[in-house]
Structure 1
């Protein structure tokens, strides 16, 4: 029952203000968005719609997901924040996914996809995180990457090195993102960086609702 309640709650939070003229019932649009973000491929999501007598292209569901502009809720106040970066393949190019996770709640706080990793980019990520959430008194858990240490120091944030323990929460997120991007080639193939960044924010929304 709790998982069903979270699913219903996340569907209610999906805003369809972008819809002008759409023949698909709004509940089915929201269900399609949620199912895809929860792990269903676009092809299988379209098959679910067909059960309800609605035929839509995979690209249509893909557009619904991106136009919904979903992202994690702002204003969180975690005691600890696990921060890390990992390589993401976008077509034939390498990008870096930055992620901040509340390890106690196992919820994503912020993500950002960048073409490289530098101290300047890391500082900007932390600046965005501080704008979205109340994290100035939190302890940041990092793995010793110099650019993350520099960003914490520049922002005057308390941090400590931790390779396991509470940092496992961000590793679980990375594993799921990589599983999705490798299993569902239609996610990041033939997509630009802005589209991928968009999808990652939407994924963060769904992750927080369904964990």
Structure 2
């Protein structure tokens, strides 16, 4: 897990406006959210709360994470953007995770979870990416996937084929997502696709704070 000194800056950025009646101190709620997104399982996060004399269920921490509605900040405009998709499994079913990363900073710019992959979905992902960040004069780094190449051509984007190099930043993120979803079964246990999609946006927020 990253050092505590790297955890603290993002704690203040967590918005807890969703809280109405909650007996837990907001600082402990923020700490719990951050610890879980940084890599601590729900079970171990609850144990940390126990140290402070606070007893909470794993589902409570899970709800805090999702209600916080965290996601990467918009308005980024890097020189290059690495785009890729990979398969993850949710409740035994296959889904496709699309991700866009700034290879220079390793920041996650945008994610999307879909039940399949098509040219239309790939094109929609680029549309959302451009709307969120207004990417202009950007070189997109893609692999040989036909859907991604089609989407770049449809949007008249400058792109080039790159299998390794700067695209390794996406692979590192995919590896971490897969590690988390396989190792921490209580993250996605009985979760639907919408919940998983929300978790991925929260993960992206935390990832950007800790890199």
TM-score where L is the length of structure 1: 0.97
User: Deviation at 1:54?
Assistant: 0.2
Q: Which runs of 4+ in 1 moved over 4 A?
A: 2-6
Correspondence 1:169-184 to 2 at 5 A = 169-184=169-184
CA distance in 2, matches of 1:142, 1:120: 17
**Secondary structure at 1:163's aligned position in 2?**
coil
User: Deviation at 1:9?
Assistant: 2.0
User: Deviation at 1:7?
Assistant: 2.1
Name structure 2 gaps, 5 residues minimum.
Answer: none
Q: Residue 50 of structure 1 corresponds to which residue in structure 2?
A: 50
CA distance in 1, matches of 2:92, 2:5: 40
**Secondary structure at 1:111's aligned position in 2?**
strand
Q: Residue 68 of structure 1 corresponds to which residue in structure 2?
A: 68
CA distance in 1, matches of 2:13, 2:137: 29
Residue 142 of structure 1 contacts residue 161 of structure 1 at CA under 8 Å; is this kept in 2?
yes
Residue 78 of structure 1 contacts residue 134 of structure 1 at CA under 8 Å; is this kept in 2?
no
Deviations 1:155-205 (A, max 9, x none): 111000000000000000000000000100011220000000000000000
Q: Does 1:112 align with 2:116?
A: no
Name structure 1 gaps, 5 residues minimum.
Answer: none
Residue 79 of structure 1 contacts residue 139 of structure 1 at CA under 8 Å; is this kept in 2?
yes
**Secondary structure at 1:148's aligned position in 2?**
helix
| Count of equivalent residues | 210
Gap change, CA 1:134 and 1:4, over 3 Å in 2: farther
Q: Residue 187 of structure 2 corresponds to which residue in structure 1?
A: 187
Deviations 1:18-69 (A, max 9, x none): 0000000000000000000000000000000000000000000000000000
Residue 136 of structure 1 contacts residue 157 of structure 1 at CA under 8 Å; is this kept in 2?
no
Q: Residue 83 of structure 2 corresponds to which residue in structure 1?
A: 83
Q: Residue 129 of structure 1 corresponds to which residue in structure 2?
A: 129
Instruction: Give the alignment's Cα RMSD to 1 decimal.
Output: 1.1
Deviations 1:47-106 (A, max 9, x none): 000000000000000000000000000000100000000001000110000000000000
**Secondary structure at 2:22's aligned position in 1?**
coil
Q: Residue 19 of structure 1 corresponds to which residue in structure 2?
A: 19
CA distance in 1, matches of 2:197, 2:124: 16
Residue 80 of structure 1 contacts residue 138 of structure 1 at CA under 8 Å; is this kept in 2?
yes
Q: Residue 7 of structure 2 corresponds to which residue in structure 1?
A: 7
